[in-house]
Structure 1
């Protein structure tokens, strides 16, 4: 996947905090494309191959240490922002991840803060920031879901195969010469 410089998306006012968290959860330096903080101590990082959500603090259910959720782009089905009047959440959906409505102030099962694949959004600015991130991530998801190109065959190998077909009488020598010239660009 080719990285586009315009995809780099970081909350610059939080750069030192984001770098510290990235180091603590084992993200290699200079490998992040997106680095954002949500409503509580919830962090979104992306690399060229995966989305990472790290959570710490009382409101996320992780008073000590971090809960780290990682999912490769090819396993993600969608990334969405769901925002109501003043609060909302950013959600990563994919295989094996239970998706159900969440609430910023929810308890247990419907708490955005406690769900490993969700980040709480506390303001319209958060909504706008995470919507921009979702657009970038969805672009990477679409690229990861594209069929892989089969490696191109060597021209010399292709000509050898055609020569074998001509020698076996499957194609005529004239057809062989025509196809050989096409392959050689003559």
Structure 2
């Protein structure tokens, strides 16, 4: 099981993402991800009557909805089961449609600036998975300043605390 800090490190390197209404789901990710699984992209959207976190790893696509008070809904699709991916972009929001064999999943109300980067990462991951390559190190060339900016964004979004931000900043700067 990956630690919350490791997951925060992964998501801090993702340039375009949306966490609207999914803080509980992000905090639950360590319970779902395997030790060697890296978050490559994520966004939030409306699916099955609720706001869900959609997470792409190098092995699978995870849909996660942690209830208001209790409960958990989770669905996942291994990358080799995805047959097609489509998207639609409107004025402010868009949608993504994913076909996996006989079923189709449509996620609506996705922030439009996250759709194309998410689709690109998903298609690249599917290609790499089918070719037997891993994309875990895809975002490893980020500068220290960029990494700190990403953690600052997580702090501003309320995903991490000020203390967690300061600890991570010191780690990045080697202090």
**1:156-175 to 2 correspondence within 5 Å?**
none
1:19 aligns with 2:26: yes
1:135 aligns with 2:142: no
Q: Whose strand fraction is larger, Structure 1's or Structure 2's?
A: 2
Aligned length: 116
Measured in 1, the distance between the counterparts of 2:124 and 2:24 equals 27
1:37 aligns with 2:44: yes
Per-residue deviation at 1:136?
Answer: 0.9
SS at match of 1:37: strand
Higher relative contact order (CA 8 A, sep 6+): 2
Call closer, same or farther: CA 1:12–1:132 in 2, change over 3 Å: closer
Call closer, same or farther: CA 1:67–1:16 in 2, change over 3 Å: closer
- For structure 2, the 5+ residue unaligned runs are 1-9, 134-175
1:91 aligns with 2:101: no
Call closer, same or farther: CA 1:12–1:86 in 2, change over 3 Å: closer
The two structures have a TM-score, normalised by structure 2, of 0.51
Per-residue deviation at 1:51?
Answer: 0.7
**Aligned-residue CA RMSD in angstroms?**
3.5
**1:34-183 to 2 correspondence within 5 Å?**
34-39=41-46, 41-56=51-66, 64-97=70-103, 99=104, 117-121=105-109, 126-146=111-131
- For structure 1, the 5+ residue unaligned runs are 100-116, 149-186
Measured in 1, the distance between the counterparts of 2:121 and 2:71 equals 29
Per-residue deviation at 1:131?
Answer: 1.6
Measured in 2, the distance between the counterparts of 1:121 and 1:70 equals 20
Per-residue deviation at 1:85?
Answer: 4.6
